[in-house]
Amino acid sequence: MAREIGKAGKTLYKRLLRIAAVLGGVGLAIWLLIKLTAPWMGALALPIALLVMVRMLQDKEVERLVVASARGYRGEAQVGRLLSGLPSTWKVYHDVDLGGENADHVVVGPADVFNVEVKNYTGSVEVRPNGLWVRGQRRDDLVRQAWRQAHKLQELLGVEVQPILVFLGRKVKGQVGRLWVMGEEDLLAHLKALPPCLTFAEARQIGEALERRVR
């Protein structure tokens, strides 16, 4: 089993907790307000507070944020569990702080250093040498994100970092330029099949730098 540092999806988990705390705080405030200012409505205080919380969740922006965060967390957690199945010569760093954004998983092993970015989307995913399409729309932004994070890691670590874009639940594997795009089922086999190029000393030095960046 690979050694894991950090918790997969920690940033998104914290975001969901903050959303829950805000909703719970609003509900509690309304419940207290009714109890203190209109005690004759005491029996209705809890139902009204719950109704307000539900209406807040039905707001398009709030709903979009909650759904995106929940799907993202599920994707990162699932891929994190898969990566733990790599051999003991590998290390997996979850939720690495890049300054303003985070890398979902950074994998260090004999085959090199990899930035694994996870997407948990619905709809079709099509990989072509000249671009990536999700639900029929070209998504150059996802390609740029993967390379941007890899370049940030390269600046931090002083070594080349290879990005991999993983789509949860999608049977797809191909390259957009030099960027590998695949479903999570192909990820471990892909990493294990790569030839060794990193020494133990190099991997240890990279790991020490990454540990300081784990959220």
Straight-line distance from the first to the last Cα atom of the chain, in angstroms, rounded to the nearest whole number: 22
The DSSP H or E segment spanning 163 is: strand 162-167
Q: Which pTM was predicted? A: 0.85
Q: Which residues of the chain have pLDDT under 70?
A: 40, 42
CB 84 within 8 A of CB 191: no
DSSP letter for 96, please: E
What tokens appear for 175 in the block?
Answer: 């390259």
Measured CA to CA, the distance from residue 191 to residue 158 in angstroms comes to 21
DSSP letter for 39, please: G
Model confidence over 106-149: pLDDT tens digits?
999 999 999 999 999 989 999 999 999 999 999 999 999 999 99
**Among candidate residues 175, 186, 178, the one with its CA nearest the CA of residue 126:** 175
pLDDT of res. 42: 66
Query: How many H helices and E strands in the chain?
Result: 6, 10
DSSP letter for 113, please: E
CA 61 to chain CA mean position, Å: 20
pLDDT of res. 88: 92
- Strands (DSSP E) contained in the chain are 3-5, 91-97, 102-109, 112-119, 125-128, 131-134, 137-138, 162-167, 173-176, 179-183
pLDDT of res. 64: 80
